Amino acid sequence: MTVIKNKPELLAPAGNMEKCKIALRYGADAVYLGGKMFGLRAFANNFSMEEIAEAAAYAHELGKKVYVTVNIFAHNEDLEQLPGYLLDLQQAGVDALLISDLGVWSVARKTVPAMPLHVSTQANTSNWAAVQAWQELGAERVVLARELGLDEIREIGAKTNVELEAFVHGAMCISYSGRCLLSSYLTGRDGNRGACVQACRWDYSLVEKNRPDESFDIEEDERGTYVMNSKDLCLIDHIPELVEAGICSLKIEGRMKSIHYVATVVSVYRKAIDAYCDDPQHYQVTEAWREELEKVSHRPYTKGFAFGKPGSEGQVYTTSSYEQTHDFVGIVLAYDAESKRAYIEQRNNVKSGEVLELLMPDGELLPLTLEGMQNEAGESIDCAPHAQQKFSIVSDKALLPDSLLRRKVIC
């Protein structure tokens, strides 16, 4: 009989303050985010130091945590500002730092010795000896390389006693542990210093040196081929194996994703983790959870390296486009019980009388008809066509703030 000693943490991405709060509201136990420096998501909005302090305070009020990525592969010029930045993060109240570079680790150990340090997946930790080595250097947690199978994770868990974290959902990188040179080589933007342009998703053809004006498809497809375009990871079926193998934190990728993506995926994995911990022997992924994961923008799903190295089935060769079954069209700002009106901010054109789908932070899913639409002046309107237009509707059901409105995509 399986007994869950410690409930696994659900760790979610936070690309900005809105996503941070949404992730925590929808069930994440912790979020990871990047500051304006030293992180590997330079194109995310990222957080000022004041925002990091705000995020930490918000999370702590909920009994949750905030981890900050300091996971670039640093060059000499990066080190001058590092100690001051680390001290500022400590003052902001963050709960741990994610680090991949050994030099950055050493500076952090000396500068903020009491700060918990987590080893980033970019450190490429793929065996139990490496985990033990990081533990001896003071690591509280190690984020394992994404290229590990469940059997390898199980062996690492058996031979170590440090916290282990693993990605369970989101985009996969074609380069080993995300350590890519393509972006730097092709554009001058270094993916290992936070400026990746995702060159692996581009459409490539073959060109012969003596015929530079003539290109050849690598596959027999007139549109070219996406030879490095990995499918997205989805391990919701294998939460029991991951936890039993020793994983204490289940991580969702997606700091560049929308709040719709973050809320939906977090909500599904929250339900899944709770269901597993409540009844480990009878854990089963529901069809409703699978349908939810199809509603967000994603590439086709794969189990990654969980059961061996993926072959051609792990890639998408014909397009780098995303797929989804629903569009995000609005977010609930507030609900007034006396007037029974819900106040909404538009995120896509909506019209009076539309029947939409509503996802609430507590996981409830229900249909919602847009009735009695009014603008901010209280005037009746037929639609809300303007970006982030605020309006209200009549609703007998009390709608929770941060509930998301969705529209089924008509193909």
Phi-psi region of 188 (alpha: psi -120 to 50; beta: other; left: phi over 0): left
pLDDT band of 300, cuts 50, 70, 90: confident
Query: Which candidate, 104, 103, 102, places its Cα nearest to that of 68?
Result: 104
Enter the tokens of residue 257: 């994703």
DSSP 87-131: HHHHHHT-SEEEE--HHHHHHHHHHSTTS-EEE-GGG---SHHHH
Quick: pLDDT tens for 4-45.
778 999 999 999 999 999 999 999 999 999 998 887 655 556
Of residues 136 and 302, more confidently modeled: 136
Radius of gyration of the chain (CA): 23
For the cut 80, the answer to whether the pLDDT of residue 192 exceeds it is: no
* Ranges in the chain annotated CATH 3.20.20.70: 9-176+230-308
Report d(CA 384, CA 47) in Å as an integer.
Answer: 31
pLDDT of res. 207: 74
Using a pLDDT cut of 70, give the percent of the chain over it. Answer: 82
Using a pLDDT cut of 90, give the percent of the chain over it. Answer: 70
For the cut 90, the answer to whether the pLDDT of residue 223 exceeds it is: no
pLDDT (average), residues 205-216:
71
- The amino acid occupying position 205 is S
Class of 326-408 in CATH: mainly beta
Query: Which candidate, 79, 78, 115, places its Cα nearest to that of 97?
Result: 115
pLDDT (average), residues 375-386:
96
* Ranges in the chain annotated CATH 2.40.30.10: 326-408
Phi-psi region of 241 (alpha: psi -120 to 50; beta: other; left: phi over 0): alpha
pLDDT of res. 386: 95
Quick: pLDDT tens for 310-335.
766 666 655 666 689 999 999 999 99
Let me know if 122 is exposed, middle or buried by CB neighbors in 10 A (0-12, 13-18, 19+).
buried
Helix spans in 141-249 (H): 150-159, 182-187, 239-245
Residues 6+ apart with CB under 8 A from 268: 236, 289, 292, 293
- The third-level CATH classification (topology) of the domain covering 9-176+230-308 is TIM Barrel (3.20.20)
Pick the most confident of 99-113, 170-184, 208-222.
99-113
CA distances from 37 to 10, 15, 59, 232 (A): 25, 14, 22, 27
pTM: 0.86
Quick: pLDDT tens for 261-298.
999 999 999 999 999 999 999 999 999 999 999 999 88
CA angle 114, 120, 121 (to 5 degrees): 160
CA distances from 409 to 119, 323, 337, 369 (A): 40, 10, 31, 17
Average pLDDT of the residues of the chain: 89
